[in-house]
Amino acid sequence: MQLYKNFTPSVSVIVPTYNREKLLPRALDSILKQTLHNWECIVVDDGSSDNTFQVVNEYLETDLRFRYMKHSNKKPPLTFNTGIQASIGRFITFLGSDDEYKPEHLQLRYDFMINNPQIDLIQGGLEIIGHPYVKDKNDLSKEIHISECKVGGTFFGKREVFFELEGFRDLKYADDTDFWERANKKFNITDVDFPTYIYYRDTPDSICSNIK
């Protein structure tokens, strides 16, 4: 599909967001600073009532690699899926609207996938800001270290993985772990340890902080 006039993106970055007008520029600026330039960024607005569009519109007006979509509030898994459906990149990845990438984030993962064509999906590589524990999906009364989890923001994979699995399932919690487990049954997947995804655990309205 020819969506862009002068290029076809190698990587589609999907940024789901909901009422994060204050934090969103940090995330989007980190995409602009990437050493890999052949990307598209799809901001999927999950029914925000704040000034999210006005924030994103500044990027839309100055860089044609940004796109914006909005739907009624469907929660993160289905918001991820909206972005997946709209993407055209060879590879698909994600960025939480309260997180950010280090400049080499996309390049390292793209190079890894190109140099290891037998691999279909990778995850991992975090720098954690704040509390490094999250609730255990199998027992919400307990906490486990994030290093024991699969963090959806770090997923980077071939587009066919996401389409064949029909994206993320509409779960209340740990939809990323569910996706990883389903992918493991059909595809060649592995962890990487480039600590270039800055994962903020100090955001008050995050699902990981508020799940009960």
Q: Which domains does the chain have, with CATH numbers?
A: 11-201 (3.90.550.10)
Question: What pTM value is reported for the model?
Answer: 0.91
**Tally of CA atoms within 13 A in the half-sphere of 62 that contains its CB:** 8
Q: Rounded to an integer, what distance in angstroms lies between the CA atom of residue 23 and that of residue 27? A: 7
> Which pLDDT belongs to residue 1?
60
> Which pLDDT belongs to residue 209?
44
Residue 141 CB-density burial (10 A; 0-12 exposed, 13-18 middle, 19+ buried):
exposed
> Which pLDDT belongs to residue 43?
98
Q: 109: which residues sit within 8 A by CB, 6+ positions away? A: 91, 93, 122, 125, 156, 192, 194
pLDDT along the chain (212 residues), means of 10: 83 97 97 98 97 98 97 90 97 97 98 98 94 68 78 96 96 87 97 96 56 43
> Which pLDDT belongs to residue 208?
45
Q: Token pair 């280090």 is at which residue?
A: 102
The β-bridge partners of 101 are 197
> Which pLDDT belongs to residue 144?
80
